[in-house]
Each structure stands twice: as C-alpha cells, then as structure tokens.
C-alpha cells in the first residue's frame, strides 16, 4: 500500500533528485507546499545533523506525516570549513546560486589548486510522527574549480570538480550524479532502511 513521505523542502532541484533516488519504494513523495504548509523553520543548528533533525521534526509535527529532511553544504579546507552549514546563506539570505558562486570564488582568489580541496556533506534525518528519529550521512570529495562549468545540478555543483570524473558535479548526468553524490549516498541508506523494515516503518508511521 502506498503511503505519503514528506520531503521537507520545496526546492525543485532537491525534489527532482529525491524522486529519482527513492523511486521504486512504496511511498508517494510530497512537499510542504503540496500539504499546505507555507511556514519554514529557522535553521539554528550548528551542524548539518542538528539542522536536518530540526526541519524534519518541524514538518512531521505540522503534517502528521513521516518526514525526510536533509541539511547539506560545501566545506572548503582553505576556508576552515566554510561555508558549511551556512552554504545556502553564505552570500546573504536572498542571494542567488550565481551570487553565491561569485562570493565563494572571490574568497578563493589566488589559492593554488592543491589547496582548493573541498567536500559536499549531507545528513538526512527521518522523523516519524511517533517520535522515532534516524540519521544517515554521505560525503563527496573534490576541489573547488576556478570557475563554474556545467548546466546540470544546482547550488555549488558547477564549481565542485571531481578528479575521478574529470568534470564538475554540474557536468554529470543525473543518474551519475545520484550514484556518486553525498545526497545519493545518504539517500541509498534511507532507501535500504525503508526496504528492510517496511512493516515496522508502516506501523509507526
């Protein structure tokens, strides 16, 4: 029997990725907008895990639905781990993806290639109306390119260069990105958990 699983985001890029990552499961993915929830929680956590749990708890409480939330971002070693949990707000709360990229690249101006190491990190939280909580993590290592390349993806994807693929994340097709990405790694753990415990999850949801 198909059940609803709320994605705690209205970001079309994330929704598209999760629909691909979690396809084949007996869950119908829905969003806060589809459920009539316009409010958003303030992300006050200091770690990806804290923010993911905060968002999942917020929407689970308001909708009564099992809720999946993630918090993810870019950690740049030459910037002492910035932007980290502030990735979406790094250039200001209202900044566009293009403005965030320009801001980041300006901070790295003159930094040599070997010191431009970085990683995408993702934590996914699953919160059930019963109060059950679980978290799953993934990371993708690479380098910050000197300029954006590629039209696929969103956020910092155009500047995250992967030596193994000789391309940025934004140059990968969606199926390859979902295979290697930080979000893909964490989402596969979520999917496996849902497959492994369908009767338990169904009862508690």
Is residue 126 helix, strand or coil? strand
Query: Distance between CA atoms of 143 and 136, rounded to whole angstroms?
Result: 24
Q: Rounded to an integer, what distance in angstroms lies between the CA atom of residue 117 and that of residue 120?
A: 11
Tell me: pLDDT of 198 over 60: no
Q: How many CA atoms lie within 13 A of 144 on its CB side?
A: 29
Which residues does the annotation mark as catalytic? Answer: 71
Q: How confident is the model at residue 1 (pLDDT cuts 50, 70, 90)?
A: low
131-149 in b/e form (b: 16+ CB < 10 A) is eeeebbbbebebbbbeebb
Q: Is the pLDDT of residue 200 over 70?
A: no
Mean pLDDT of 149-158: 92
Q: Is 127 helix (H, G, I), strand (E, B) or coil?
A: strand
* CATH numeric code, 3-204: 3.90.950.10
Instruction: Note the pLDDT tens digit of each residue in 52-83.
Output: 999 999 999 999 999 999 999 999 999 999 99
Contact yes or no for 147/170 (Cβ under 8 A): no
Rounded Cα distance, 202 and 162, in Å: 39
pLDDT, tens digit, 9 for 90 and up, residues 5-26:
999 998 888 898 899 889 888 8
Q: Token digits for 154?
A: 């969103």
- Rounded CA-CA distance 18/181 in Å is 12
Report the pLDDT value the prediction gives residue 2, as an integer from 0 to 100: 65
* Owner of token pair 């003159």: 110
The structural domains of the chain, with segments of one domain joined by +, span 3-204
User: How many CB atoms neighbour CB 89 within 10 A?
Assistant: 14
Strands 160-162 and 3-7, sheet pairing: unpaired
């Amino acid at each position: 029997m198909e059940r609803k699983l709320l994605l705690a985001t209205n970001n079309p890029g994330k929704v598209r990725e999760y629909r691909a990552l979690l396809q084949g499961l007996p869950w119908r993915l829905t969003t806060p907008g589809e459920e009539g929830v316009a409010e958003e929680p303030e992300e006050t956590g200091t770690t990806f895990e804290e923010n993911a749990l905060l968002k999942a708890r917020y929407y689970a409480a308001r909708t009564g639905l099992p809720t999946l939330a993630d918090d993810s971002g870019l950690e740049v070693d030459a910037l002492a781990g910035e932007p980290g949990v502030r990735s979406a707000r790094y250039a200001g709360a209202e900044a566009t993806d293009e403005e965030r990229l320009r801001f980041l690249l300006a901070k790295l101006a003159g930094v040599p290639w070997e010191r431009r190491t970085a990683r995408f990190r993702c934590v996914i939280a699953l919160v059930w109306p019963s109060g059950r909580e679980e978290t799953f993590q993934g990371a993708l290592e690479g380098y910050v390119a000197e300029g954006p390349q590629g039209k696929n993806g969103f956020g910092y994807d155009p500047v995250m260069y992967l030596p193994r693929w000789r391309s940025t994340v934004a140059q990968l097709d969606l199926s390859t990105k979902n295979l290697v990405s930080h979000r893909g790694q964490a989402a596969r753990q979520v999917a496996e958990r849902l497959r492994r415990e369908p009767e338990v999850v169904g009862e508690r949801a």
